Homo-oligomer: A and B are copies of this chain.
Amino acid sequence: MPLVVIEVMPKAEILDPQGKAITSSLARSGYEGIAEVRMGKRFELTVEGEIDAARLEQLQEIAEETLANSVIEDVVGIHVMDQS
């Protein structure tokens, strides 16, 4: 079945405390040169049937209405990984 990847990240203007904690932790662990880390979500959806225009529209709606919280997050990618 086709696999679709949907990527969601915190909006640029939103503080990302988990990302900031990781950035500090990396510096403390001696990893140099990592200026910033931001943490978002990656969803893999296994989809029945083929990916046509109607399915893509549905997936866009799922991404924006269900997977992302549009107040603080953006959908940054919807990728069809495996069409078979």
Contact = CB atoms under 8 A, between A and B. Distances in A.
- Number of copies of chain A assembled together: 2
A29 interface: yes
Interface string A56-71: 0010001000110000
Q: Sort chain A's interface into a size bin.
A: 20 to 34
A9 B55 contact: no
- Of A41, A42, A45, most buried by chain B (CB within 10 Å of CB) is A42
A1 B35 contact: yes
A34 B48 CA distance: 6
A34 B8 CA distance: 18
A42 B41 contact: yes
Given A66-B25, A67-B22, A55 B33 contact: yes
